[in-house]
Amino acid sequence: MDMTITGEVIDILQEESGQGKNGTWRKQQFVVEVPGQYPKQVAIIQWGDNIDKFGVKKGETVTAHVDIQSREYNGRWYTDVKAWKISRDQPGGVAAPASDDEPWPEPPADAGDGDDGLPF
């Protein structure tokens, strides 16, 4: 199932990185505001080389193709919205992909093993 979220990038958070058993990992979140009567903000995660490939910039309108994944830790649930493709509206109204059509592989299972103090 391909889910998309379209809106204006209103913030780009600090990139995080760490060392896991499979090597170095990188992730960065950006926040998209989805327009409507009651605009919603959604934090979206981009992993690894996609950070550079997508080149998301504050103030631009993007369509993020995402996978949504939840996991349980100590009786609490955590949800990630992971971008595997970013599209931008081009003049003329045609959406052009900013990345390959192949989904990006899942992040390493130990990506949360960094020293960021998070339980996941």
At position 115, the amino acid (one-letter code) is D
Give, rounded to a whole angstrom, the gap between the first and last alpha carbons of the chain.
Answer: 25
Return the pLDDT at 51.
Answer: 94
| Residue given tokens 């931008």 in the structure block | 88
Q: What is the pLDDT of residues 27-54, one digit of tens each?
A: 999 999 999 999 999 999 999 999 999 9
Q: What is the pLDDT of residues 53-69, one digit of tens each?
A: 999 999 999 999 999 99
**How many C-alpha atoms does 21 have within 13 Å on its Cβ side?**
2
Domains in the chain: boundaries = 3-113
Give CA torsion, residues 110, 111, 116, 119, to 10 deg. -60
Per CATH, the number for 3-113 is 2.40.50.140
